[in-house]
Amino acid sequence: MKKVLLAGNWKMHKTLSEVKAYFEKFLKDLETIDLSAKEIMIAPPFTALAYSRKLTEGSPIKLGAQNACWEEKGAFTGEVSPLMLKELGVEYVIVGHSERRHIFGETNELVGKRAEGVFRFGLTPILCVGETLEERQQNKTLEVIKSQLEAGLNGIKEVGGRDLVIAYEPVWAIGTGITATPEQAEEVHGFIRDFLSGLYGKEKAETIRILYGGSVTPENIESLIKQPNIDGVLVGGASLDPDKFLKICAVA
C-alpha cells in the first residue's frame, strides 16, 4: 500500500536544545494518531541529524537530510556524502529544493547528479521541482517542470523495487503564505505522473509518491491531500511547530 508521506523540512532552524524540546512534545502527541496509512519524515539541519536519530529511536519517525553530494568521499569542502548520512540512519534526502536552486545557484544538472548519487547509495531522493511566478505567468509551468524532471532523473534510469519521491513546490508558494489551489497542484501532479509513466512505466509510476509543498498548513492540508495525484506534502514553516505539524499529520 502506498502510504501518504508527510515530510517536514526544518531548513536552517533549531539548535540542539530546541530539537530536544520539539521531539519531547511531538513524540508524545504522535501516539494519538493512527499512522497505519501514513509515513512521517523530518529533515533537520545536518548538525542535528545524529541527535534527532537518538531522540526518535524506536519511534515511527523517518529521518531525512536536506541535501547530499553524489560522491562517497573526497575534496568537496562543505558537502556531506550519502554514505555519511546513511550511517546516521537517514533514509530520505531532499535534492533540488528551490532555495538550493535560487539562493545557491544549483542547476538542473547538478541536482540530477545529487539525485543519482543519493539513489546509488540506497537512500531515497526527494527531488523538488517547481516554477517561479514569472514562469507561471508566462504559461511555462509544465515546460519548466519537464526540464527539471528530465535532468533531475537523468541518472536514475531504472527504479526497480526502490523508492523515489518527487515534490512539486511552486517557488511562489514557498514560505509566502500563498498556497497553490488544489486544482493548480493537481494539474502539475498529473503531468508529473504522466512523465514518470513515460520514464518508468505506468505501474511503477503509480507507486512513486508525488508530494505538494508550498505554505501547507493544518487548514489547507485536507483539500490538497484529497487530490488523486497528491500523495503527501513537504512542509517547511509549519513543520517547525510541533503542534502545527502534528495537526497536519493528523488531518492528512
- Closer to ligand PEP at the Cβ: 14 or 200? 14
Name 59's Cβ contacts closer than 8 Å, sequence gap at least 6: 27, 30
What is the enclosing helix (H) or strand (E) of 166? strand 165-168
Stretch that binds ligand PEP, among 155-163, 198-206, 212-220, 222-230 (CB under 6 A): 212-220
Residue facing ligand PEP at closest CB distance: 236
Q: How many residues bind ligand PEP (CB under 6 A)?
A: 14
Per DSSP, what are the bridge partners of residue 232? 5
The crossing angle, in degrees rounded to 10, of helices 108-120 and 141-152 is: 40
Identify whether the C-beta of residue 202 lies closer than 8 Å to the C-beta of residue 247.
Answer: no
Stretch that binds ligand PEP, among 39-47, 71-79, 203-211, 229-237 (CB under 6 A): 229-237
97 is catalytic: yes
Per CB under 6 A, contacts with ligand PEP among 168-197 are 169, 174-175
**Which residue in the set 63, 235, 246, 249 belongs to the binding site for ligand PEP (CB under 6 A)?**
235
> For residues 115 and 32, what is the distance between their CA atoms, to the nearest angstrom?
35
3-state secondary structure 207-245: HCEEEEECCCCCCCHHHHHCCCCCCEEEECHHHHCHHHH
Stretch that binds ligand PEP, among 17-25, 66-74, 80-88, 208-216 (CB under 6 A): 208-216
Catalytic residue list = 97, 169
Please state the residue numbers annotated as binding site.
9-11, 175, 215, 236-237
Write out the residues near ligand PEP by the rule CB under 6 A. Answer: 9, 11, 169, 174-175, 213-216, 234-238
